[in-house]
Amino acid sequence: MSLSNTPAPPDPGAAADGTTAALAEPTTKVTARWVTGLVLVNVGINAAFFGPINVFIGQQAIGIDEANKEAILSLVTGCGAAVSLVANPLFGALSDRTTSRFGRRSPWVLAGAILATAALLALSGATTIALMVLFWCLVQLGANAAYAAITAAVPDRVPVLQRGGVGGLAAMGQTVGILIGAVFGAVVSGNYMVGYALCAAALIVAVLPYLFHRNDPRLPTSEKVPFRLGEFVRSFWISPVSHPDFAWAWLTRFLVNVCNQMTIVYLLFFLRDVLKHDDPALGVLTLTGIYAVMVMITAVLAGPWSDRLGRRKPFVIGSSAIIAAAGLTMAFFPVWTGALVGAGILGVGFGAYLAVDFALLTQVLPEAADRGKDMGIINVANSLPQVFAPVLAFLAVTYFGGYLTLFVTAAVIGLLGAVFVVKIKGVD
């Protein structure tokens, strides 16, 4: 028999039925070990995001120019969020095209975590506003590369009827990351340089378990679409006429995240300047702890519940309305007790929302080959509010009535998010 007639070895990127495993619709439930790795990546990324956003950037702004601390915080977080608007879908699209033997998503999880870790360490030594902006933008660049990849791994590997449960655990991981960031803020006693270092360590350590058990099939080179710049750029536009469910899902997620961000973005300053809290960083930790406990409870309950019922929209509508109620509580009860109650309400709503809305979103993606890009575009609905919310918060607090206006506006936006969910027709 000639060498030319020898059968080719099986393609490691192919499923048992000949379908490319990287692009096939998943049918086998993922293991607890894989889910644990996914959750830990979410923990690390969110500690790296929210430790600085909720505490350290504000403390650093006070040290640079206390009189303009709100403007500095809004500028730094807004610029970083602007970077994430591009980074998340871009790295998602690049991961879709990655043919590494380590898989499509894992190389970007590792590279993004390394970049974000280095940038956090550099940010800790920034002594000017310009350097704060630069290094926070690099943190956002790296963390969003990792986040785009790990988010796309869910529709890659998790069957539809397991996604509510996995989404709930991922939401729990996000919340634990936020809580860890608040813990770092409280324990470093105002030493934000140590706080940034702790966030960097948490991020790089958290990605390792996933990388060692990644279940990330290789995309065969034969399945890689030739790169044409014009087509690549145009692919980031997903027509709302052709894909209306995707468009409505994106809009509702954007509105609910604007509501959530507006409620929390000035929390440190709200406790310091309005409630006159003796230790605002400790206050942030207390409120974040209450919020985190409620998120974890409702996320792990609502996600599997929606899987069993096979329904997503009622959970998303109800949880969006609850999130809006948190803003109203903070607006009309601007005392420490009101803040405690508001944090609990926000956690109840946002936990259920994160779990179930994530599952809903994975069911309205247009193409299997573009899961990374499409989830990246969805993730813009998470990061774009970080641009809008600080600006709206700054205008509300500075020019339009203060924190009452801020929290009421947040509630109205959240209620709009609840209303528009009914427009989604392809998911119950």
Q: What pLDDT is attached to residue 110?
A: 96
* SS3 at position 14: strand
Q: What's at 167, amino acid-wise?
A: G
Contact between 403 and 333 (Cβ < 8 Å): no
Minimal CA–CA distance to 175: which of 268, 84, 85, 54? 54
What is the helix (H) or strand (E) element at residue 75, kind and residue range? helix 69-96
Q: How many residues does the chain have?
A: 428
CA torsion through residues 307, 308, 314, 319, sign: negative
Whether 180 and 288 have beta carbons less than 8 Å apart is answered as: no
Which DSSP state fits 28?
S
pLDDT for 4 equals 35
CA angle 37, 40, 45 (to 5 degrees): 130
Instruction: Please spell the DSSP secondary structure of 303-321, one letter per residue.
Output: HHHHHHHT--HHHHHHHHH
Position of tokens 């796309």?
Answer: 152
CB atoms within 10 A of CB 174: 27
pLDDT of 8 reads 34
Cα maximum dimension of the chain: 86
Residues lower than pLDDT 50 in the chain: 1-19
Residues linked to residue 14 through DSSP beta bridges, in sequence order: 20
Angstrom distance (rounded) from CA 299 to CA 347: 9
Q: Which residues contact 368 (CB under 8 A, 6 or more apart)?
A: 23, 24, 25
With H, G, I as helix, E, B as strand and everything else as coil, classify residue 12. Answer: coil
Q: What are the Cα distances from residue 334, in Å, to 55, 290, 331, 348?
A: 20, 17, 6, 20
Tokens found for residue 8: 């080719």
Q: Could you tell me the residue ranges of all domains in the chain?
A: 30-213+236-423
**Per-residue pLDDT at 251:** 92
- For residue 180, give every residue at least 6 positions away whose Cβ sits within 8 Å of its Cβ, in sequence order, or none: 43, 47, 51, 202
Query: What is the DSSP code string of 93-158?
Result: HHHHT---TT-SSHHHHHHHHHHHHHHHHHHTT--SHHHHHHHHHHHHHHHHHHHHHHHHHHHHHS
CATH hierarchy code of domain 30-213+236-423: 1.20.1250.20
Sign of CA dihedral 84, 282, 127, 74: positive
How does DSSP assign 232-280, residue by residue?
HHHTT---TTT-HHHHHHHHHHHHHHHHHHHHHTTHHHIIIIIS--S-H
Amino acid residing at 278: D
Q: Which amino acid is at 113?
A: A
